[in-house]
Amino acid sequence: MSARKTHLQVTAALIFHGDRVLIAQRRPETRHAGQWEFPGGKQEPDESLKDCLAREIKEELNLDIDVGGHFISVDHDYNDFSLTLHSFFCRPQNHDTKALNSNAWTWVTFHELKEYDLLPADRLIATALGSSFCACR
């Protein structure tokens, strides 16, 4: 009998500055090192998704954010765990961004997102984001 996979609830911030969105690169010592993602992290017990996201962005990027509306949630299966990634539109309260718990961060346009090695679940969000953006124009 195989062991049941751990399923995580994870958050992702869609932080915009004009027509650019913030992405962060995973640190060398982490799983999926060097890949890019929308910043966020794992939900702690008894923590709301929005509180989780605000905490994670402060820890990772020293950025205070207003967490707005939910955009989309996607499921992804890895070999040893699965996750549901919940994305939210966010607005920065300051612009003193520092890579505290990320390797690097950058602002990119929707077109430029294709040039980055995004994690699979983040790629799904980027595709949906691009489709929504194009449908609004």
**pLDDT tens digits, residue range 19-48?**
899 999 887 777 777 899 999 999 999 999
Domain range for 54 is 6-136
- Please state the pTM of the whole predicted model: 0.86
Q: Mean pLDDT over residues 97-108, rounded?
A: 71
- Asked if the structure places residue 14 within a domain, the reply is yes
Number of domains in the chain: 1
Q: Which residue from 45, 56, 19 is spatially nearest to 133, judged by alpha carbons?
A: 19
* CA dihedral angle for residue 119, residue 123, residue 129, residue 133, rounded to 10 degrees: 120
CATH of residue 70: 3.90.79.10
40 in Cβ contact with 26 (< 8 Å): no
Residue 117 lies in a domain: yes
Kindly tell me if the per-residue pLDDT of 99 is higher than 60.
Answer: no
What is the predicted pLDDT for the residue at 97? Answer: 64
Instruction: Tell me, yes or no, whether 1 lies in a domain.
Output: no
Is residue 132's pLDDT more than 70? no
